[in-house]
């Protein structure tokens, strides 16, 4: 017997709710079938010509009854057809109704036909219902997709997603766990703790559907990486739950991408504003600094100063010089970022370039040993001499600040393919791996170096930008035993004439 027929029988005979109406409908369907059988039997025996095909006429009644009403109605109609056929046959012969051997066979055939037709009808009906249900689920998924694309990504997506799933799919309760924000968002009524349930689904990666409780659990994955979880209670199928979890993962990814874009844009605007302010301040500082240095130089040349006064004047002149150097560095940094520095390419002797930078920093290098190693003394580089001077100055000055007292600062220049590799090696505190990429960012100072020497975090960013203008790049290596080395790879030939 088909499952739908069994359910129908339970409804007709076992359900206390509306059982009288259903029983009346069952009796009416059976009565219509029986009346049709009696009419066909009477007509067949009255005319006489339809007797040979009477069983086929009965079958034409049994089949629609099984198709439209159900198996038990068709069985009763089949039984009435056998009884009617037997009764009219008895009227024309001496045989009794029970004695006719064809009755049992006819009844069996009718019952088998009724069973087959009812099963086929039930299957077709179930398929139709499933197709209708899938169509409804597809509409719901389409609506959910459309609504998620219209979500406001300026706020956390979790609460919006939980409400949308609860509303669109008409579920009893929904819980969405965002692993990145480590928060659970719920909608509907939960008689269990949704917080613990949703987190357990994520941490233990359990995806299943419980038909008894109607709870579906899904790990929300972006590719193969878990990013959250979904727990629902209601009438949804496994495929629908999978689709909802996938759409939630996509929404999480869109939210994070949008947040990253917003953060990058904010940082870019902040950096532009910062560069503009620094440029303005540097220009504003130059005039008073020039006056201070001129006044201190004039006091020194006047003579008749006591030793204490002369020392103070020298200190003023020295610190004004350092402040002037920092101001020039800020101006150069702002111009490099704005692309306002014109690059003048010329043929520069690498050996002469290194010697000039070392000579300019001789006071800073007084407590250090300096070793210069140039692979080719006749090496000529096509570059902007001022920018390369600035790059090497930053590297060597950085080594002076942070290397161990009395250690050796080694300056090397090698040629590798189409590039000249400049490096400055020193012994000092190791730079952590996490700082080696960010150490070239403006204003960033390694946690290892922050308390060792004063600094602004600008110098290495200037060196990086100078290398990039030439089409080169920079990096650093650091080891407790081998020391720290800053590298700059510069093309031997620079094609750009301006930046």
Using left for φ > 0, alpha for ψ between -120 and 50, and beta otherwise, residue 76 falls in: alpha
> What DSSP designation does 297 have?
H
User: How many CB atoms within 10 Å of residue 140?
Assistant: 18
Cα→Cα distances 145→149, 157, 264, 268, Å: 6, 14, 27, 33
The answer to whether the predicted template modeling score (pTM) of the entire model surpasses 0.95 is: no
Helices 71-91 and 19-47 sit at what angle, rounded to 10 degrees? Answer: 30
Pairing of strands 473-479, 419-426: unpaired
User: What class, spelled out in words, does domain 346-491 have in CATH?
Assistant: alpha beta
For CATH 3.30.565.10, list the domain ranges present in the chain. Answer: 346-491
Q: What tokens were used for 120?
A: 């086929």
User: How buried is residue 317: exposed, middle or buried, by Cβ count under 10 Å (0-12/13-18/19+)?
Assistant: middle
CB-based contacts of 21: which residues, under 8 Å, 6+ apart?
none
Best CA proximity match to 168, nearest among 191, 139, 211, 190: 139
- Give the pairing of strands 215-222 and 208-210: antiparallel
- HEC string for 64-108: HHHHHCCHHHHHHHHHHHHHHHHHHHHHCCCCCCCCCHHHHHHHH
What is the 8-class DSSP label of residue 413?
E
Walk across the sheet containing 173-178 and list its strands. Answer: 183-188, 173-178, 225-233, 215-222, 208-210
Please state the φ and ψ torsions of residue 50, each to the nearest 5 degrees: -90, 0
Phi, psi values for residue 22, rounded to 5°? -70, -40
CATH 3.30.450 placement within the chain: 153-340
Q: How far apart are CA 292 and CA 295, in angstroms?
A: 5
184 in Cβ contact with 194 (< 8 Å)? yes
CATH code of domain 153-340 = 3.30.450
Which residue's structure tokens are 């970022």? Answer: 337
Considering Cα of 423, then 427, then 428, then 433, what sign does the dihedral take?
positive
The per-residue pLDDT string of the chain (499 residues; one tens digit each, 9 = 90 and over) reads 334 444 444 434 444 445 678 788 878 877 887 787 778 777 767 766 665 566 667 667 777 777 777 777 767 777 777 777 667 666 555 444 444 445 555 656 666 666 676 677 667 666 666 655 555 677 888 888 888 888 888 888 989 999 999 999 889 999 999 998 889 999 999 888 889 999 999 999 888 998 888 899 999 998 888 999 999 998 887 888 898 999 999 999 888 888 877 776 776 676 666 666 666 666 666 677 777 877 777 777 776 777 887 788 778 877 877 777 777 666 666 666 555 566 788 999 999 999 999 998 888 888 889 999 998 888 999 998 988 998 999 899 888 888 888 899 999 999 998 999 999 999 988 888 878 777 887 666 665 555 555 555 567 888 888 898 889 999 999 988 889 999 999 999 875 543 3
Rounded to 10 degrees, what is the CA torsion of 104, 107, 112, 115? -140
* 289 token code pair: 């600094």
Q: Which sign, positive or negative, has the C-alpha torsion 19, 22, 28, 34?
A: negative
> Could you please report the per-residue DSSP string of 184-245?
EEEEE--SS-HHHHHHHHHHHT--EEETTTTEEEEEEEETTEEEEEEEEESS--HHHHHHHH
């Amino acid at each position: 017997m088909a499952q739908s027929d069994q359910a129908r029988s339970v409804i007709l005979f076992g359900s206390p709710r509306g059982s009288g109406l259903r029983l009346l409908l069952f009796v009416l369907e059976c009565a219509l079938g029986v009346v049709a059988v009696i009419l066909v039997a009477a007509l067949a025996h009255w005319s006489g010509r339809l007797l040979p095909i009477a069983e086929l006429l009965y079958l034409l009644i049994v089949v629609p009854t099984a198709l439209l009403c159900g198996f038990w109605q068709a069985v009763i109609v089949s039984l009435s057809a056998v009884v009617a056929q037997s009764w009219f046959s008895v009227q024309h012969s001496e045989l009794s109704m029970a004695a006719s051997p064809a009755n049992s066979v006819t009844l069996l055939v009718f019952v088998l036909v009724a069973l087959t037709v009812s099963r086929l009808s039930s299957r077709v009906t179930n398929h139709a219902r499933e197709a209708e249900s899938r169509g409804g689920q597809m509409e719901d998924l389409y609506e959910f997709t459309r609504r998620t694309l219209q979500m406001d990504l300026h706020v956390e997506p979790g609460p919006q997603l939980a409400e949308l799933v609860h509303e669109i799919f008409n579920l009893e309760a929904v819980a969405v766990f965002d692993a990145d924000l480590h928060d659970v968002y719920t909608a509907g009524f939960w008689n269990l703790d949704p917080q613990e349930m949703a987190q357990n689904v994520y941490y233990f990666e359990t995806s299943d559907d419980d038909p008894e409780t109607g709870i579906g659990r899904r790990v929300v994955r972006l590719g193969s990486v878990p990013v959250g979880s979904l727990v629902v209670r209601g009438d949804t199928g496994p495929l629908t739950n999978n689709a909802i979890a996938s759409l939630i993962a996509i929404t999480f990814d869109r939210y994070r991408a949008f947040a990253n874009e917003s953060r990058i844009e904010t940082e870019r605007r902040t950096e532009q504003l910062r560069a503009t302010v620094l440029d303005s301040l540097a220009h504003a500082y130059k005039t008073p600094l020039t006056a201070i240095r001129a006044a201190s130089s004039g006091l020194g040349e006047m003579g008749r100063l006591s030793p204490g006064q002369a020392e103070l004047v020298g200190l003023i002149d020295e610190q004004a010089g350092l402040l002037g150097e920092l101001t020039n560095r800020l101006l150069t940094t702002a111009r490099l970022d704005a692309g306002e520095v014109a690059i003048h390419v010329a043929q520069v002797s690498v050996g002469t370039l290194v010697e000039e930078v070392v000579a300019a920093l001789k006071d800073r290098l007084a407590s250090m040993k300096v070793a210069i190693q140039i692979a080719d003394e006749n090496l000529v580089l096509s570059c902007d001499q001022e920018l390369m001077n600035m790059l090497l100055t930053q590297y060597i000055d950085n080594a002076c600040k942070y290397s161990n007292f009395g250690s050796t600062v080694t300056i090397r220049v090698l040629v590798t393919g189409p590039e000249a590799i400049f490096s400055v090696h020193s012994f000092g505190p190791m730079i952590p791996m996490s700082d080696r990429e960010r150490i070239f960012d403006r204003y960033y100072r390694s946690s290892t170096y922050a308390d060792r020497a004063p600094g602004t975090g600008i110098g290495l960013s200037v060196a990086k930008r100078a290398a990039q203008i030439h089409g080169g790049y920079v990096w650093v290596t650091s080891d407790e035993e081998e020391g720290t080395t800053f590298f700059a790879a510069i093309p031997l030939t620079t094609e750009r004439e301006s930046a």
